[in-house]
Amino acid sequence: MELSATDYTLAAQASLANAVTEAATLHAPQLEPEHVLLGLLSPDSGTVWSWFAAMMRDPSALRTVIATALSGAPQAETSLAETVHSYRTRRVLSEAADEARRLNSEQVDTPHLLMGLLNEGGAAAQILRQRGLDTRTLRYWLKNHPAADIQIAPPHATAAQAAPPIAQRPAPRPEVRDDVPLRRALPYLISWRAVAILLAIVIGGGYMTLREDLQDVGVYVFIIGGWIASVSAHEFGHALAADLGGDHSVRGNGYLSFNPLKYTHVMLSIVMPVIFLLMGGIGLPGGAVYINRAALRGPKWQSIVSAAGPFASLLVSVLLAIPFMLNLETKTVFWAALAGLIMLNIAGVLLNLLPIPPLDGFGIIAPWLTPGIRNYLYRFASIGILLVFVMLFWFEPANQALWDTVDSIVAALRISPDFARMGLSLLTFGR
């Protein structure tokens, strides 16, 4: 449900109005989260400005960093005639409303907007987190500085004028610094606990499929656990290519951790796709990493980063298919479930490679399009996935073409498409 102006405090309304002004000044076609952050970088934001002033000597210095992040953003030929929120901004506002409800607040205030920015995880959140500004430190500061006690700090506040800073977070280990080669940093960046949990879920699910009394539960655990692991590999591939291409912000954001929670919004990226799987659908793109494309070394690396995700998913499928290539499988529930998981991954790869924004296929070709064409097509990013699934469900030739291609690739991996389809059917309700 969309909120009205009265659902926001006066400070939040002023900050959003400032964000619209910033977007118009930059000739942006849509209001993005980075514009919202610019709108919060003003004494008008009240509590948030006090927090910024407490955490750094000159909060307005962030404007230069944000301007750099927006330097490669598309521009409209004319200024914004009305507020057009991008998909990412709508998510920020939704997250802010959720934060307000969780805190039993009747209105969305500027701290809720800032938490929404941090939860969204894009470039604005990266800029803040790289400076130790995150939701945990904000909540701690708010707890110790009730609104009535907050003094609004003027611009360029000195440390004496600003509210006292909270305890600083421990400095990151030197192995994760931007100047450390990836081969040395990666072992410290990967969350081995998350990897172990994923492996335990998949192996445990596989074991349950071998026991007749646990087969039904085992199929769900094995296929869904394997699919989440595959999504993590997909997003890890994007992040790995981005770091190699020059965007080291993926380190601080946890995108090289292989932890699925770092790539996801729990409801949109895990719960809804899993429900869709259980209803007999195709695996939806389940996660997201936000890349600072301005930091990449040219259009070639932008294409490589987009291609790295589908490549990682395809690699997972090939590795899982090795037993079939060696004729080690038998006609049991375990092997049917594994074949179904491979088919699910292959379908996901093909969908992701469609040249439709915001899918990876469009990301591969986007750097080579003219700015005018690229900016025009980006307007459809918020409905691109919806259009794909409408086409697949209601346009039979498209659906047939997709599954014919999936069957051909599955057969090339020495797996019977009918056997794989039977494995997928074990996952749906009402079987």
CATH number of domain containing 163: 1.10.1780.10
What pLDDT score does 282 carry? 61
**SS3 letters across 204-221:** HHHHHHCCCCCHHHHHHH
CB 12 within 8 A of CB 111: no
In a domain, 175, yes or no: no
> Long-range contacts: 174-181, Cβ < 8 Å, 24+?
176/251, 176/252, 178/248, 178/251
In a domain, 176, yes or no: no
Assess whether 189 and 131 both reside in one domain: no
Two tokens, residue 259: 């932890």
Assess whether 76 and 186 both reside in one domain: no
Question: Containing domain of residue 413, as a range?
Answer: 182-425
User: Distance from CA of residue 250 to its chain's centroid?
Assistant: 12
What pLDDT score does 92 carry? 85
> Long-range contacts: 134-137, Cβ < 8 Å, 24+?
137/55, 137/166, 137/169
In a domain, 430, yes or no: no
CB 258 within 8 A of CB 277: no
In a domain, 349, yes or no: yes
Assess whether 326 and 238 both reside in one domain: yes
Assess whether 145 and 273 both reside in one domain: no
Assess whether 270 and 316 both reside in one domain: yes
**3-state secondary structure at position 259:** coil
Q: DSSP per residue over 140-187, as a string?
A: HHHHHS-GGGPPPPPTT--TTTSPPPPPPPPPPPGGGSTTS-HHHHHH
Type of residue at 298: G
CB 116 within 8 A of CB 96: yes
**3-state secondary structure at position 374:** helix
What does pLDDT average to in each consecutive run of 10 residues of the chain (431 residues)?
71 87 82 87 82 75 78 60 73 84 84 85 79 76 59 37 36 51 88 94 94 90 91 92 87 86 63 57 63 81 93 95 93 93 91 87 91 82 77 83 93 95 74 42
What pLDDT score does 291 carry? 80
Q: Show which residues are catalytic.
A: 235
Assess whether 159 and 282 both reside in one domain: no
Assess whether 190 and 105 both reside in one domain: no
Assess whether 158 and 195 both reside in one domain: no
Alpha carbon distance 10, 296 (integer Å): 39
Assessment of whether the complete model's pTM goes beyond 0.85: no
Assess whether 11 and 78 both reside in one domain: yes
pLDDT in tens, 387-413: 877 887 788 888 889 889 999 999 999
Domain-terminating residue out of 148, 170, 192: 170
Assess whether 132 and 211 both reside in one domain: no
Domain count, the chain: 2
CB 124 within 8 A of CB 33: yes
Alpha carbon distance 162, 141 (integer Å): 13
